[in-house]
Amino acid sequence: MKKAVIAALLLVLAGAGIGWGLSAPTRMSAQEAALLTEGDAARGELVFWAGGCASCHAAKGADGEDLLKLGGGLRLETPFGVFVAPNISPSEADGIGAWSLVDFANAMTHGTSPGGENLYPAFPYTSYVRMSAADLGDLFAFLKSLPIVEGKAAAHELGFPFNIRRGLGLWKRLFLDPAPVIASPLNGADVDRAVWERGRYLVEGPGHCGECHTPRDFAGGLVLADWLGGAPAPTGEGKIPNITPVEGGFGSWSAADIAYYLESGFTPEYDSVGGEMVHVQENMARLPASDREAIAAYLKAIPPVSAGSD
């Protein structure tokens, strides 16, 4: 891990130093912004669960209605320091109550705050960048309908140079890409293309599954060649499993097994889900069955990553 931290450090310093222009925060183009329309809060609720926003922005251990109080405060410990999830409730003073839809979309898809600062990728906008304009509009409408929580969350605890947001510009140029990771279903897979694409959208976009299940390189960017091939757990003990269709591994799960796991939390052997996957599974359980089936169809038809490559 130490080596990775030093490499990332050099990248950040380079980002801060290399021409100011290269590290400037980017924003949506006028054409992209024009696609955004005020959405529907009821539809936005499903986008909210698919996106797992409550897992980071609600209080630690929150349950039931408390999952909708997005006052922030959860501490995310990483090798770069501690990130504290901010307040994204509709409070004008402390949350995002005063933000426009375009401000919100710039944060979600460009990692850029309304004030023009780079946001840290501990906020998984590297996945959210693939979200559709319609979903962003609906999600924003839903967030606006949630309870106001007063009070700002604590500041991040980051050492130099990670505390310089400007330095992230170069990192974003390297790792922020809206293109799909997997272009098409695995050759020979017998899948309905539209269902598979819905699954791809959920996994690669709002579901941000790759942020945990894909290994990272020296600079903290995802190694796309090993997409969903498993990774060491960033926090806590143990490993995050490979969820590609490898023989002798996850490949033995049928599509129905995967959909049932996302619905109930039970593996085909009736072991129960644990660790950080618990929140994700509970969020997936709130989506329509067709979405869980789409995720399963996608996971069954992506390139297998052989064991040990992480």
Residues at the contact surface with ligand HEC, assessed by CB under 6 A: 51-53, 55-57, 76, 83, 85-86, 88, 96, 104, 107, 113, 119-120, 122-124, 128, 139, 203, 207-209, 211-213, 240-241, 243, 250, 258, 261, 267, 270-277, 280, 284, 295
Indicate which of another protein, ligand HEC, none lies near residue 236 (CB less than 5 to 8 Å, by partner kind). Answer: another protein
179: left (phi over 0), alpha (psi -120 to 50) or beta: beta
Query: Closest approach of Cβ 102 to ligand HEC, in Å?
Result: 12
Query: Closest approach of Cβ 52 to ligand HEC, in Å?
Result: 5
Q: Does 289 bind another protein (CB under 8 A)?
A: no
Residue 144's H or E segment, with its range, is helix 133-144
Count of alpha carbons within 13 Å of 46, Cβ hemisphere only?
A: 13
> What does the CA dihedral 296, 198, 108, 168 come to, rounded to 10 degrees?
60
Q: Are 175 and 221 in contact (CB under 8 A)?
A: yes
> Two tokens at 132?
């559709």
Choosing from 265, 303, 304, 306, the residue that interacts with another protein (CB under 8 A) is: 265
CB-CB neighbours of 106 under 10 Å: 24
Choosing from 21, 237, 248, 308, the residue that interacts with another protein (CB under 8 A) is: 237
Indicate which of another protein, ligand HEC, none lies near residue 261 (CB less than 5 to 8 Å, by partner kind). Answer: ligand HEC
Indicate which of another protein, ligand HEC, none lies near residue 208 (CB less than 5 to 8 Å, by partner kind). Answer: ligand HEC
Indicate which of ligand HEC, another protein, none lies near residue 55 (CB less than 5 to 8 Å, by partner kind). Answer: ligand HEC
How many Å separate Cα 279 from the centre of its chain? 13
Q: Does 251 bind another protein (CB under 8 A)?
A: no
Which whole-number Å values give the CA distances from 61 to 56, 126, 182, in the listed order? 10, 26, 34
DSSP string, 160-203: TTTT-GGGHHHHHHHH---S-SS-SPPTT----HHHHHHHHHHH
Query: Closest approach of Cβ 282 to another protein, in Å?
Result: 8
Q: Which is nearer to ligand HEC, 19 or 270 (CB)?
A: 270
Query: Closest approach of Cβ 184 to ligand HEC, in Å?
Result: 19
Q: Does 231 bind another protein (CB under 8 A)?
A: no
Distance CA 4, CA 79 (A): 9
Choosing from 19, 64, 236, 248, the residue that interacts with another protein (CB under 8 A) is: 236
Indicate which of ligand HEC, another protein, none lies near residue 287 (CB less than 5 to 8 Å, by partner kind). Answer: none
Secondary structure letter of residue 224 according to DSSP: G
Amino acid at site 282: E
Choosing from 58, 277, 280, 296, the residue that interacts with another protein (CB under 8 A) is: 277
Distance CA 120, CA 143 (A): 21
Q: Does 286 bind another protein (CB under 8 A)?
A: no
Q: Does 272 bind another protein (CB under 8 A)?
A: yes
Given the rule CB under 8 A, which of 8-16, 43-51, 194-202, 263-271 is the region that contacts another protein? 263-271
